Structures are given as structure tokens and as C-alpha cells.
């Protein structure tokens, strides 16, 4: 069982930056593919970015060049650095951990981009 706790959401103006953090429990964190997903009102949850234990990353086209995912396997954390934020980035952001058939989710953190 893996518990995920997100932090760092909030209200930011268009063009601003935020950093989301996710702290994970468990001793085999490095084996999990970690990811960030988001869900806007009335829309399905969608991929933002993922990172493997070895550091390989994957991004949704809509965030490429603006968002950066990183992880610290020694601290069991995964971060999402978000720059040049747009109103369409407004959503609840969820941390995810996958390993084989195991799939764990955090409770989500709200990000609102508005002037």
C-alpha cells in the first residue's frame, strides 16, 4: 500500500508559476512510475506528466516546455514545477503511483489560474 499526499496548489495569475509536491510512503518508491494527472470541472482526468524510477519523463503536449516533473527517490517525493500557467491549466491535480497492477492516487490539490 502506498499513501500519497499532495501539497502546493493554490491561486496564481496567468503567466505565473507553482510547484506541486507529492510525498509517498513505502520502501520501494524507486520502483514506481510516478505521475501527475489533472481533472478540470466537467472533464475527465488526464495525464500531465510521468517519471520512471530512472528519471525518464513523459509529458502531455499541452504542458511540454512549461511543466517539469522530477523525483527524489531518497526522499520519496515527486514534484511538478509549473511555469507560464494558463487559465486552462485550472484543475484538481492528482499524484499517482503505478507498479504493475498497483495504482495509487492522492487526494488531489486545487490549482486555479485566474487574474
Question: What digits encode the pLDDT tens for the residues 33-84?
Answer: 999 999 999 999 999 999 999 999 999 999 999 999 999 999 999 999 999 9
6 pLDDT above the threshold of 90:
yes
Around Cβ 87, how many Cβ atoms within 10 Å?
A: 11
Q: How far is CA 56 from CA 19, 33, 73, in A?
A: 19, 9, 13
Q: Determine the Cα angle at 78 with ends 107 and 84, to 5°.
A: 90
Would you give the DSSP letter of residue 4? E
Whole-number Cα distances in Å, 60 to 31, 74, 92: 22, 26, 16
State mean pLDDT over 10-23.
98
Average pLDDT, the chain: 96
Amino acid at each position: 500500500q502506498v499513501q500519497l499526499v499532495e501539497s502546493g496548489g493554490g491561486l496564481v495569475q496567468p503567466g505565473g508559476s507553482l510547484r506541486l509536491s507529492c510525498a509517498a510512503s513505502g520502501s520501494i518508491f524507486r520502483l514506481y512510475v510516478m505521475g501527475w494527472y489533472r481533472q478540470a470541472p466537467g472533464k475527465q482526468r488526464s495525464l500531465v506528466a510521468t517519471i520512471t524510477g530512472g528519471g525518464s519523463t513523459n509529458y502531455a503536449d499541452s504542458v511540454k516546455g512549461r511543466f517539469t516533473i522530477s523525483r527524489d527517490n531518497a526522499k520519496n517525493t515527486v514534484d511538478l514545477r509549473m511555469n507560464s500557467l494558463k487559465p486552462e491549466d485550472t484543475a484538481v491535480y492528482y499524484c499517482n503511483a503505478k507498479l504493475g497492477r498497483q495504482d495509487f492516487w492522492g487526494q488531489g490539490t486545487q490549482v486555479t489560474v485566474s487574474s
